[in-house]
Amino acid sequence: MQWQPDWGLRFRMGFTMFLLFALYIVFVGILTLYFGNLLVPVVLMGGFSLFQYFFSDKLALRSMGAKTVSEDEYPRLHAQVGRLSQQADLPKPTVAVANSRTPNAFATGRSPSNSAVCVTTALLDTLDDDELEGVLAHELAHVKNRDVAVMTIASFLSTLAFIIVRWGWLFGGRGRNQAPVIVAIIVSLLVWVVSFFLIRALSRYREYSADRGAVTITGKPSALASALMKISGRMDQVPEEDLRDQAEMNAFFIIPIRSGFIGKLASTHPPTEKRIEQLRELEREMER
């Protein structure tokens, strides 16, 4: 397959981003009107976001306890990543492995030239070569689409809204007239709640896009579908403490760690069944 745009998916992502940034414009306008000391939180969160943007690869690997591995340590993994990177027209990313009983993988980094692909030891033990290549290609599609940078930028003002909700009284001072501060906190709460779900919708659309990109790279939609089914099935066998320890990495993983109804509602990933259905449709397209 050639790297072709999915215009329906792009429209949904574009519309979601339009709603998100329209919400942010209203948010900034209201805060500017009601909240006199907005400069401090903006500067602080701007600095934090820049730090996250430039060091996201190292932060993500460290949070998972992953380590960079050499070709001598994992020759098969390096060979697969190198070959798939060439097929995707990407520089070879840093290759890392995390010692974990959770079968999963993620990609991180602000750009293709500053990216890393990490797999867990459980994933290497679970998948065959074709399935592993499907997962690696999915992560490389995230790198090619610059998804880490997109999601970091999209979540900047949402994070600011959360900070104002939590620390608004400190930013607003302790004068007698607290009405502007109360308005700003209420508006920030509404913005954070709405943006929370919009950002997760955007993340789910980008997962579909990465699945399609993986098929473009490997030409094997059935291999990725099989990998998703295996990983999803193994998740039920992972100890609860391991799931809790790694839940904060949900936005990066190829399969999210869910927790009940609310976890599914706010998931960063679409249902595995729907992803497999899309992959089967892509396979039918290739056969035609």
pLDDT tens digits along 206-253? 899 899 999 999 999 999 999 998 998 765 544 445 444 444 454 456
Write out pLDDT tens, residues 156-213: 777 777 777 776 666 555 555 566 667 777 877 888 888 888 888 888 888 998 999 9
The secondary element (H helix, E strand) that includes residue 283 is helix 272-287
User: Does residue 76 register a pLDDT over 90?
Assistant: yes
- Residue 235 carries which DSSP code? H
Report the SS3 class of residue 117.
strand
- Any catalytic annotation for residue 139? yes
CB 118 within 8 A of CB 97: yes
Provide the pLDDT for residue 247. Answer: 46
Pairing mode, if any, of strands 94-98 and 116-120? parallel
Q: Which pLDDT band holds residue 57 (cuts at 50, 70, 90)?
A: confident
User: Does residue 7 register a pLDDT over 60?
Assistant: yes
Q: Name the active-site residue from 131, 139, 241, 283.
A: 139
More confident residue, 222 or 11: 222
Where along the chain do its domains lie?
15-287
User: Does residue 147 register a pLDDT over 60?
Assistant: yes
Q: Which amino acid is at 268?
A: T
- Packing angle, helices 156-172 and 39-64, rounded to 10: 130
Provide the pLDDT for residue 83. Answer: 96
242: Cα within 13 Å, side-chain hemisphere = 16
Write out pLDDT tens, residues 79-131: 999 999 999 999 999 999 999 888 889 998 888 888 999 999 999 999 999 99
Provide the pLDDT for residue 244. Answer: 44
What contacts 40, CB < 8 A, 6 or more positions away?
171
Q: Which pLDDT band holds residue 4 (cuts at 50, 70, 90)?
A: low
Q: Can you tell me which residue has the tokens 């892509």?
A: 282
Q: Which pLDDT band holds residue 27 (cuts at 50, 70, 90)?
A: confident
Provide the pLDDT for residue 239. Answer: 46
Distance CA 33, CA 286 (A): 55
